[in-house]
A and B are shown apart, each in its own frame.
Chain A
C-alpha cells in the first residue's frame, strides 16, 4: 500500500489535521463534546493511519515502544499527581478547590490536568494495543 501516491499524499495531509483536531477536542472538552479520552483516541488513530500507509517500522521509528510505554505510565502519574497536589496544598485528595486562589479557577485547572493525563495514557494504550496486534509474528524492524 505504501507505493500508492494518492494514499500517501492524502494521509500526509490528514494526519496533521487529525492531530490538531485532537488538540481541539482535548481543550474544548469542558465546553463541548470531547475530553481527554476522545482526544487520546484521535491522536492514536492518526498514528495508526500513519502505520497503515507508511508501514509499522516507520510508525515505530516515529513513536518507539519505550515512548508508548512511558506515555501509558505518565498519564496515570499526571492524574494521580493532580490528586496529590491537592493533598500537598492542604486539601483532600483530588481537591481542585485549592489548586488556585479562586476555587472556581482551581476546578478548571484540576480538570485540565486530569484530562491531559487521560489523553496521554489513552493514546499510549491505544498505540500499544495496535503495536501488539500489528506486530504479531513479526520482528520489530520487518517491512510490512
Chain B
C-alpha cells in the first residue's frame, strides 16, 4: 500500500517537514530533520526507480481525481533517475552543511536555512515527478523562491546582488515557461503532459505549438543557464553559502534540463521539435558556444569558485549538445553527463567549501600551495578536475565518450572534434588550479598543514569516490541513462 503512494510521499515529506522546522525554531533539530527527510526521499527514489522498469510508468492521481482531469504524478525511468540524483546529493551535502551553515549563516537563522533547503528540495523533486505542465510551474516557483533566499544568505553582501540578479532572470524564465504552457493549453485544452502529447498531433493550427515550444525553450533555458542565458549562474554559485553552491550546482540546472527533455521528446515529440522545427540546430549552436565560452571564461577567473561556476556553463553545454542530437545515443549521453557532472560539481563545490572554511577564501592567491597545506582536499579537487576534462577513469570520461560516439554516430565529425577540443580548455583551467596548488609556495600566514573538519571533508570525498567509481565502472550510470533515454523517446502515450 505504501509503495502505491511513494510518488507523492517523496515530494510531500519535505513539504511537511519545512513548516515543522520553522515551528520548532531550532537549528540542530532542523538539520537533523532535513537530513532524515533527504535520506528517506533517497530511499523512496531508489524504490521507485527499482519499480519502474517492471511497470513501465507509475501513475498517481492527486486527490483521486483521474488524470487528465486531476493532477497526475507520472514516473518512468527518466524522471525517477533525476529524483534520485536530487535527493541523493541533498543527503550527501547536508552532513557538510551543519558546520558551514553555522559559520556562514549564523545560529539565529540556522533553522530558517534548513526550512528553505527542504522547500527547495521539495520543489526540485516536484518538478521531476509531476506529470502536469502547470504543476511544474508551481514547483518551479517553490524551488526558485527558496533558492533566491538561500543564495541571499551567503557570506557577504555580494550574495544579495547575485540573488537579486537570479531573482529577476529566474522570474522571467518561469514566466516565459508558463506563457509557453498557456499556448499549448490553448490548442490542446489540457495541462496533463501525457494527454497533451496525445492531442498535439491532431492540432491543425501549428503556430501556437511552435510559439509554445519557443517560449518553453527560452524559459527553461534561463533556469538551466544555457548559453547565452547563463549570466545569473556564476555569481549565484560563487557567493551562495557553500552548502547551497554544492547542492544547486549538482541539481538545480539539471532539473530544468530534465523539463526540456520531457517537453521536447515526450510532449511535443522529436519529429516536430527536431524534424519540422530547427530546435536541434539552435540548441547545438548554443551548446557549442557554451562549451567554448563557458570553459574559456573559466580559465581567466581569479577565484576557484567562480572558475567552477563558469565551468558549469560549459558542462551544461555537453548535456544540451546530447539533447540536440535527437537520438537515443545522444539522450543517453545527455542523461549520463547530467548525472556525472552533477556528482563531479557537487564534489568539487564541497571540497572548495572545506578550502574556504580553512583559508577564509578561495581566490587563487589564497589557495597557493594548497597541495602542501591541504593535501587530501587538493588531490580530490584534481580528481574532480580530471572528471571535468574527461580523463579516462573518471565519471566525466564515460559520459563525454558517450557524447562523442553519439555525435560520430549522427555523422557529425566536426561536433565530436569540438567536444574534444573543448576538453583542452577544461585542461587549461584545471591546470591553473594545479599550478596554484602544487607549483606555488603557500602565502605568508597560511594555516599549518591539515584538512578541513571531517564532517565537511568526508561527504566531499564520498562524492569524489563516486566520481572515480562511476569512471572505472561506468555501466550502472550508462545503463540507467539508456533506460531513461528510451523512456523519454517512448514518450507518454
Q: Identify the A interface with B (CB < 8 A).
A: 66, 69-70, 72-74, 76-77, 80-81, 83-84, 86-87, 91-98
B99-146 interface (Cβ within 8 A of A): 115
Q: Establish whether residues A73 and B8, one from each chain, have CB atoms under 8 Å apart when the complex forms.
A: no
In whole angstroms, what is the CA distance A96 to B8 when docked?
A: 16
Q: Establish whether residues A93 and B22, one from each chain, have CB atoms under 8 Å apart when the complex forms.
A: no
What's the minimum C-beta distance from A120 to chain B, rounded to whole angstroms? 11
B57-110 interface (Cβ within 8 A of A): 60-64
Residue from the list A69, A76, A80, A93 in contact with B63, Cβ < 8 A: A93
Q: Establish whether residues B63 and A92, one from each chain, have CB atoms under 8 Å apart when the complex forms.
A: yes
Q: Which of B15, B60, B63, B115 has the most CB of A within 10 A?
A: B63
Residue from the list A66, A81, A92 in contact with B8, Cβ < 8 A: A92
* A residues in contact with B304, CB < 8 Å: none
B1-55 interface (Cβ within 8 A of A): 5, 8, 12, 15-16, 18-20, 22-23, 25
Q: Establish whether residues B63 and A94, one from each chain, have CB atoms under 8 Å apart when the complex forms.
A: yes
Residue from the list B8, B15, B16, B19 in contact with A74, Cβ < 8 A: B19
Known: A80-B12, A84-B12, A87-B5. Is A96-B19 also a contact (CB below 8 A)?
no
What's the minimum C-beta distance from B152 to chain A, rounded to whole angstroms? 13
Known: A69-B22, A73-B22, A92-B8. Is A84-B16 also a contact (CB below 8 A)?
yes
Q: Identify the B interface with A (CB < 8 A).
A: 5, 8, 12, 15-16, 18-20, 22-23, 25, 60-64, 115
In whole angstroms, what is the CA distance A91 to B1 when docked?
A: 11
In whole angstroms, what is the CA distance A27 to B20 when docked?
A: 27
Q: Establish whether residues B12 and A93, one from each chain, have CB atoms under 8 Å apart when the complex forms.
A: yes
What's the minimum C-beta distance from A41 to chain B, rounded to whole angstroms? 19
What's the minimum C-beta distance from A7 to chain B, rounded to whole angstroms? 35
Q: Establish whether residues A77 and B64, one from each chain, have CB atoms under 8 Å apart when the complex forms.
A: no
CB pairs A–B below 8 angstroms (7 shown) = A73-B23, A77-B20, A80-B12, A80-B16, A83-B12, A93-B12, A94-B63
Known: A83-B12, A84-B12. Is A95-B19 also a contact (CB below 8 A)?
no
Known: A83-B12, A92-B64. Is A73-B5 also a contact (CB below 8 A)?
no
